[in-house]
Amino acid sequence: MNEIELAYVGIDVPDPGSLDGFFRDVIGLVPGDDPHTWRNDRKVHRLIVHEGERNDAAFVGFEATDEAAFDRAVARLGAAGFDTAGGDAEERKVQRLARTTAPWGVPVEIVLGLEDAPAPFSSTLVPGGFLTEGVGFGHSVFATTAFDESHRFLTEGLGLGQSDWLEMEIAAGIELEVRFYHCNARHHSLALAKAPFELPQRLHHLMFETKERDDVGAAFDRAWATDLGIPNGLGRHDNDGMFSFYVASPAGFQVEVGHGAKVVGDDWDGNRRYDRISAWGHQPLRTA
């Protein structure tokens, strides 16, 4: 616990500028120094959008809390059969970087020393700011057909703990299975959905957690005022207890804005099956 945290996610889209308005004016992120990079706290970048045909997540970074944690993370991955290679630490604005590819097909980078931005963080749209201190920038959720091997990568390789899982029938004969993983007090920094077949996008959604509940409501109002899809209106998840909604980005993957999720401690004993996504709400509101 508390050796790594979610540092950043890279996204490839054909036109990086097509996401600028969404991240800035709907989600309330703040631009980084480099074009199409986004901050939600003091760090130099949390989302890195590049031009690419993929239209999907291009990489995921986990920041080790110190040098020894970095070495342990790399050694653990290697021992689990996921060898790492070097990468461009300078471009990511980190001191050290080791890279491997997760079984769900997205490169995962272990980094040390992600730089702070020159300017302090302040978002006029999210006046309370985002919850990131000691818990990483948020969470990311991927869908994969390589479910069991991905589970092994996350638990044996990255050393994440399984928080709990969701198993339910979403329609006659169609099962949904999602596993949730933590590396610190955030209920999940990453979750995996079992895909019945290869989906066009592996990235299902990114989540940003606000410190103030009203900042979720304000973000919902901004999303509602666009013509973007709202796959899930306001609701509260059953497992992590988060009050949130989901908006579809112009690139297709979704963004969840939430507040007030459960906190995971060393004494976490909640690893059990859930059979519903939400305690209330989260109804599909609008398709784009």
Residue type, 187: H
Where is 169: in which H helix or E strand?
Answer: strand 161-171
Q: Which residue stretch of 12-20, 82-90, 162-170, 203-211 sits at the interface with Fe ion (rule: CB under 5 A)?
A: 203-211
Taking the complex as a whole, the smallest distance from the CB of residue 237 to Fe ion amounts, in Å, to 7
Q: Which is nearer to Fe ion, 82 or 130 (CB)?
A: 130
Q: Which is nearer to Fe ion, 35 or 284 (CB)?
A: 284
Closest CA to 283 of 232, 216, 223, 230: 232
- Contacting Fe ion (CB under 5 A), which of 60, 111, 207, 257? 207
Per DSSP, 117 falls in state: P
Binders in 234-263 for Fe ion, by CB under 5 A: 256
Q: Quick one: tokens of 136? A: 């990483």
Convert residues 162-201 into a mask of x (bound to Fe ion by CB under 5 A) and - (unbound): ----------------------------------------
| Alpha helices, DSSP H, located in 102-244 | 147-152, 213-224
**209 counts as binding Fe ion under rule CB under 5 A:** no
Burial of 171-205, coded b for 16+ CB within 10 Å and e otherwise, reads eeeeeeebbbbbbbbbbbbbbbbbbeeeeeebbbb
Taking the complex as a whole, the smallest distance from the CB of residue 4 to Fe ion amounts, in Å, to 19
Q: Which is nearer to Fe ion, 77 or 154 (CB)?
A: 154
> What's the rounded Cα separation, in Å, for the pair 50 and 66?
28
> What's the rounded Cα separation, in Å, for the pair 75 and 151?
18
Q: Which is nearer to Fe ion, 100 or 244 (CB)?
A: 244
Residue type, 61: G
Binders in 86-145 for Fe ion, by CB under 5 A: none
Taking the complex as a whole, the smallest distance from the CB of residue 205 to Fe ion amounts, in Å, to 6
Q: Which is nearer to Fe ion, 84 or 254 (CB)?
A: 254
Q: Which is nearer to Fe ion, 57 or 97 (CB)?
A: 57
Q: Which residues lie near Fe ion (CB under 5 A)?
A: 207, 256
